[in-house]
Amino acid sequence: MGTPHNEAVKGDFAKTVLMPGDPLRAKFIAETFLENARLVNNVRGVQGYTGTYRGTPVSVMASGMGMPSIGIYSHELFHFYDVDNIIRVGSAGAISPRLKLRDVVMGQGSCTDSRYAHQFGLSGQFAPIADFELLETAVEAARRLGAAPVVGNLLSSDVFYNKAGDTLKWGEMGVLAIEMESAALYMNAAEAGKRALAICTISDSLVTGEALPPADRQTSFTQMMEIALETAVEMARRS
């Protein structure tokens, strides 16, 4: 039996799920990289597929935009579908001058302006971080593929159109890029005792004003996708 947001049944998802924000990006990954991919969820058009990559079962499902959305889907995958690893594969905006368009960034940690952690009843501020084994495996996979990933802090924000205009101040603290999902994903993984990692491709820069067109954001981030898939294969080999 599924959930209000997921019509898949237990066993439909692989142990590792790639989570782009965009359902069309999930469809692109499934059709481009997975063998024998089958649609296991399409509630509200949030497409989820399971297939194999180099003989290893892998799933991909959209998360939607923002922490409330990925919070729902990742919680259900961790708690109701026996998923062990979720790798977010999405776009991010550079807030560090170190980064250029199409750079691959891995979120070692995730700062946030969200109150998502309030639900856990903690008396202080929780510091959301990636699972180290997943991060280390992804870095190694990237290097084998000839990529040079940048590893560091992300800013996971509840606000896209920020009226305060202070986003670049986070960059002054060494934060690399801004996106809207990783902090909730990392917190859900911590609460569930599971693993999570955000791998993002820089789609625009708040520093220079450069930006990729929407079509490129949907289909051209193949290096990031291949890194995540190779990571899934290696994690399955170790289990």
Distance (Å, whole) CA 96 – CA 27: 31
Query: How many whole angstroms separate alpha carbon 209 and alpha carbon 211?
Result: 7
Number of H helices, E strands in the chain: 7, 9
Q: How far is Cα 117 from Cα 175, in angstroms, rounded to an integer?
A: 20
Q: Tell me, what amino acid is at 198? A: A
DSSP state at residue 45: G
103: left (phi over 0), alpha (psi -120 to 50) or beta: beta
Per the CB < 8 A criterion, the answer to whether 63 and 69 are in contact is: yes
**90 near 198, Cβ under 8 Å?**
yes
What is the three-class DSSP state of 206?
Answer: coil
Q: How close are the terminal C-alpha atoms of the chain, in Å?
A: 26
Query: What are the residue numbers of the active site?
Result: 204
Beta-carbon-side half-sphere exposure of residue 167 (alpha carbons within 13 Å): 24
